[in-house]
Amino acid sequence: MSSFHATAGEAPRRILMLVYPDVLLLDFGGPAQVFEQANELAREAGQPEPYRIELASLTGGIVPTDIGFGVNTMKSGDDDGPIDTLLIPGGPGIWSQIDAGDLTRHIAMRARRSRRIAAVCIGAFLAGAAGLLDGRRAVTHWRHCADLARRHPDTTVEVDPIFLQDGPLWTSAGVSAGIDLALALVEVDLGHAMAIGVARRLVVFLKRPGGQAQFSAALAAQQADGAGRFDRLHAWMAENLAGDLRVDQLAEQAGMSVRSFIRTYPAATGRTPAKAVELLRIEAAKRLLVTARLPIATIAHLSGFGDDERLRRAFQRSLGITAEDYRARFAAYLPSSSRVTARVSLP
């Protein structure tokens, strides 16, 4: 493990998580585990712990979470020093907190003493009510993006990303995306090697970049196919993007005649087989663009487009931008040290 930025004598970064009744457990528990795992890796390396994690509420004491488990909190004061990261989790309890106003006023006050603010899932609504989203770009759970934009017209709400950074403000999509956001914060603080080490310890299958869509193309296809008839086919397609995915091959894999497949697949999923293949390949290309220092032509081959011109046309059709523009936009949200040549397992 490479060394990271914390050195002997340096104070740990203070992570203050503000919770409230009916907070969503994973919204703060997931990020807390990420930061604590970084501490554990530091201890094993004989280095000082990089983070001090505090769980606080307005009243202190036991606070019930959304699933009924209570968590013990300290009382959040207004005179206990600067904060590195103020983390605002989501949960069904936010609506009563916004109506009451005490927590949002407290968040606004605490934010002034914080180096950065991280709102997880619908915690963005609390951040917005505290005035922290004004003039910023933000994301939240895909189900609530339209409502967030309606409530905060001065905020540019983006539907797709897993997480976003706009200056000192970080926001994430729903629930488990808070883990992705916390890993990104660790990467900014302590470097790529530490973030990957934490991800491996937590058995996170893929450290997802902020530019990845909340809904994967495969998941969207499975959702559209309510009966799950083509689930195995979609999994096979995702594993064979650089292979032959013409209709006759897909029909054979699905155990159907070409004629029956051409009729049945669009009825079940709402899109043609060709469009489904293109979306899966675009998703793979997007992931490679922000995680690997590979030429566009190589990415086009690995993701199944064959050449960079076909990749360019697909990106223009689907996203309205080029692959180069996509890389420039979303790779910018990751530290440059993270953009290293990846070992790619796509065929």
Residues of the chain with CATH 1.10.10.60: 217-338
CATH number for the region 217-338 comes to: 1.10.10.60
> Residue range 241-266: average pLDDT?
94
Report the distance separating Cα 12 and Cα 102, nearest Å: 29
Are 190 and 50 spatial neighbours (Cβ–Cβ below 8 Å)?
A: yes
CB neighbourhood size of 94 (10 A) = 24
Q: Which residue from 305, 306, 329 is spatially nearest to 317, judged by alpha carbons?
A: 305
Fold classification of 13-201 is Rossmann fold (3.40.50)
What are the E-state strand segments in the chain?
13-18, 51-57, 61-64, 70-75, 83-88, 114-119, 137-138, 156-157, 163-166, 169-172
**Backbone torsion region of residue 121, taken as left when φ is above 0, otherwise alpha when ψ lies between -120 and 50, otherwise beta:** left
Pairing of strands 61-64, 51-57: unpaired
Q: What is the pLDDT of residues 277-308, one digit of tens each?
A: 998 999 889 888 877 888 999 999 999 999 99
Q: What is the pLDDT of residues 127-147, one digit of tens each?
A: 999 999 999 999 999 889 999
Are 37 and 202 spatial neighbours (Cβ–Cβ below 8 Å)?
A: yes
Q: What is the pLDDT of residues 15-42, one digit of tens each?
A: 999 999 999 999 999 999 999 999 999 9
What are the E-state strand segments in 141-268?
156-157, 163-166, 169-172
> Residue range 78-84: average pLDDT?
80
Residues of the chain with CATH 3.40.50.880: 13-201
Report the distance separating Cα 77 and Cα 56, nearest Å: 9
Report the distance separating Cα 105 and Cα 143, nearest Å: 26
